[in-house]
Every structure is written in C-alpha cells, then in structure tokens.
Amino acid sequence: MDDTLLKYNIPLESAWQKACEISLKESQTIKVDELLQQIEIARNWYWSDPERQRTGRLNLLNARTTIVKKALKQLGRNDERTAGNIAVNYANILDGTLDFFPDAEKTLKELVKKKVKLALLTNGAGEVQRAKINRFGLARYFPTCLVEGDLGYGKPDQRVFKMALQKLNVNPNQTWMVGDDLERDIGGAQIAGIFSIWHDYNKTGLPAGSRIIPDKTISHITELLFL
C-alpha cells in the first residue's frame, strides 16, 4: 500500500523541517537547522536496527517521538513535550499530503474489471493502516486486506503470504506480488514462490550488491496492465 499505491507528496526532510518550525516558533534556545541535523542522525540510528524497525512501524508516533527526544538530548535538552509536539506535527503534515500515485486507482479499477483477484498486504499498526484503507476506499478493490498490526506478523513473514494465497484460493505460481520494499515485499514473495514485481517509483535502480533481485521491475503502477 505505502509507496506502492499511496505516497506522501512531500519529501520527508521538508516535513520534518515544517514540523520543527511550527513547534519551535517561540523557542529562543533551539535552532531548527541544528535540530534537523540531529533528527537525521537519530532517524538513521533508529531505523538501522531490525527490531526497532518492527516495533517502530507498529507505533510510528512513539518511534518518531523517540527520534526527536534523542535529537534534542544531543542539543542538551531533555524535553519530552516538545519531542511529542514535533512528532505529532510531522505526522499531520505527512497525512495531509497522502494520495494515490498517479493512475494507481485507475489501474486498480482496470484490474478489477479484468477479474484479477486482489489482496492487500501491508505492514504497520492496525489502526493507522485501516484508516488509510478506509480513507481511500481500498476495500472496494481488495476484498482481502491483511494488516501486520491486526495479525501480529507481517511481510516478509511467510504466514502472511500463505494466508493471502489461501484467501484468494490460488497457488504461488499463479500469483504476483507488487511492492516497493526489496526485503519485505520482494524477498518475502520469492521465498513463498511468488513472482515478484518491484515498484521502483523513484527509478533509483537496485542498490549495489543487492542480494535480492526482483523478477520484474516497474517504475509506474500502470505498467502492470501491460505485463
């Protein structure tokens, strides 16, 4: 779902900057540019650990608050309230820009018209991801929506792929997995024997030395209609 069908129409760095500017507009002791530098360092630290990744995506507000608290601490401030405000403002800024990728909904409508069986597999907190599903009416296209926070496990855990296959009543060799995350979407699908399609929407190409090689790469979701 995220970065495959839906995307934020603002760079993350710009969202962090706006969030800091809003929260620190009356601060005389914290400089926005210095805090942004520390937030970038803290973000890289936080998301570099697989276990923090897992717990963090299930509670993004807590993860972002932890990141900002660590950044503020590096500047000599132990300010949980300010950290929480920045994290909330950041989330609100991102949420206000969330929308379909160009032609993504059109592609879904065409796939439904072609009677392609569709299932949505998304990682993240149940409440947050279900809100996105409802907001954009994704259940109209995906009778099966499997959310990590609801199940207690998510991609690349093989259980979620097996559940999707069972609910769709299909075999792995009849199935495509489309996603942007090489490890969770592509690697997980390949272990399950599912044809993997990587959505390289920024056209960055595979990272050097990538151990995961997708079966197919697309840069625009409409390409699915011509495969």
| pLDDT (tens digit per residue) in 99-119 | 999 999 999 999 999 999 999
Reported pTM: 0.90
User: Residue 158: helix, strand or coil by DSSP?
Assistant: helix
Which residues are CB-contacts of 187 (< 8 A; sequence separation ≥ 6)? 156, 212
Find tokens 């132990």 and name the residue. Answer: 78
The answer on pLDDT for 27 being more than 80 is no
Rounded percentage of the chain residues whose pLDDT exceeds 70: 100
| pLDDT (tens digit per residue) in 54-88 | 999 999 999 999 999 999 999 999 889 999 999 99
Least Cα distance to 226 among 99, 103, 100, 101 occurs for 103
The per-residue b/e assignment along 85-109, b for 16 or more CB within 10 angstroms, e otherwise, is bbbbbbbebbeeeeebbeebbebbe
Dump the DSSP string for 60-102.
Answer: HHHHHHHHHHHHHHHTT---HHHHHHHHHHHHHHHHHHEEEPT
pLDDT of residue 79: 87
How far, in Å, CA of 166 to CA of 131, rounded?
25
| pLDDT (tens digit per residue) in 28-56 | 788 999 999 999 999 999 999 999 999 99
